[in-house]
Amino acid sequence: MALNSSPFHLLPSPRGELVELPLRCLQPTQLCLGLAEVKARTSDFRLESPQSRRRYLRNRPVPIALSSAGEAWMIDRHHRLRALLDVDPQTTVFCAVVLALEGASQTHCLEELNRRGWLYLLDGDGNGPYPPERLPHSLVELQDDPYRSLVWKLKQEGLIRPQPAVPFMEFHWGAWLRKQALPPFSSKDLEPALDQARRLVSGRRGGGIPGATWT
């Protein structure tokens, strides 16, 4: 069965005039992330000067959905921004409004994001989906999903091809790997599961998993 079988809209590329917002004002659209990727991105940010970091952020704006009440939901870049919070929690980031939800309540806004497939409502253990109201208001509240960390490592090794327009593509892979018989591992220690995960991903055929190197 295809892991991305639920209807979804492709994630739009940020474009148009950018707005600069405090990082802490952005609300997540997912319940969890992979802390291995966060740790790696934090190390990268610490090596950059504030000027280089600002240029980087301008060149990679955060796509957001914006309500008429001024609530801003980040539709992507959760790992990058969670890492940035550890380095410079008072920073601002450049954002591109890809969806304006005028005159809508918060509940309606979340329902619209969910209808487009732009919410990830499973927790770090793969349980859910939960109601959109369970989404945390801050990146620091996101749970760790070690399978998302594992997928990040496999992407780094070129075994999974990035597809930035597919919402939560890495989580689709993580959901599939969660069903396999992998040895115990954690985001702090991926090594026990890596060899088997490499073989599984390399040998995967069919199923419609986005980002496979053989598609």
Report domain extents, the chain. Answer: 19-143, 145-203
pLDDT for 14-61, tens place per residue? 888 999 999 999 999 999 999 999 999 999 999 999 999 999 999 999
Q: In whole angstroms, what is the distance from residue 52 CA to residue 160 CA?
A: 29
CB burial of residue 96 (10 Å; 0-12, 13-18, 19+):
middle
**123-162 per-residue burial string, b: 16 or more CB within 10 A, e: under 16:** bbeeeeeeebeebeeebeebebbbbbbbbbbbbeeebbee
Average pLDDT over residues 133-144: 96
The pLDDT of residue 26? 97
Ramachandran assignment for 168, one of left (phi > 0), alpha (psi -120 to 50 degrees), beta (any other):
left
Same fold, 19-143 and 145-203: no
Q: In whole angstroms, what is the distance from residue 69 CA to residue 36 CA?
A: 34
pLDDT for 175-200, tens place per residue? 999 999 999 999 999 999 999 999 99
| Residue 196: how many other CB atoms lie within 10 Å | 15
Q: In whole angstroms, what is the distance from residue 192 CA to residue 185 CA?
A: 6
Q: In whole angstroms, what is the distance from residue 208 CA to residue 215 CA?
A: 9
pLDDT for 85-129, tens place per residue? 999 999 999 999 999 988 778 888 999 999 999 999 999 999 999
Average pLDDT over residues 171-175: 95
The pLDDT of residue 20? 97
The dotted CATH code for 145-203 is 1.10.8
The dotted CATH code for 19-143 is 3.90.1530.10
How many CA atoms lie less than 13 Å away from 40 in the CB half-sphere?
12
The pLDDT of residue 206? 43
Chain centroid to CA 85: 15
The pLDDT-based confidence of 214 (bands split at 50, 70, 90) is: very low
Among the residue ranges 29-43, 60-74, 145-159, the one predicted with the least confidence is 60-74
Q: Is 159 in contact with 201 (CB distance < 8 Å)?
A: yes
The amino acid present at 61, given as its one-letter code, is P
The overall average pLDDT reported for the chain is: 91
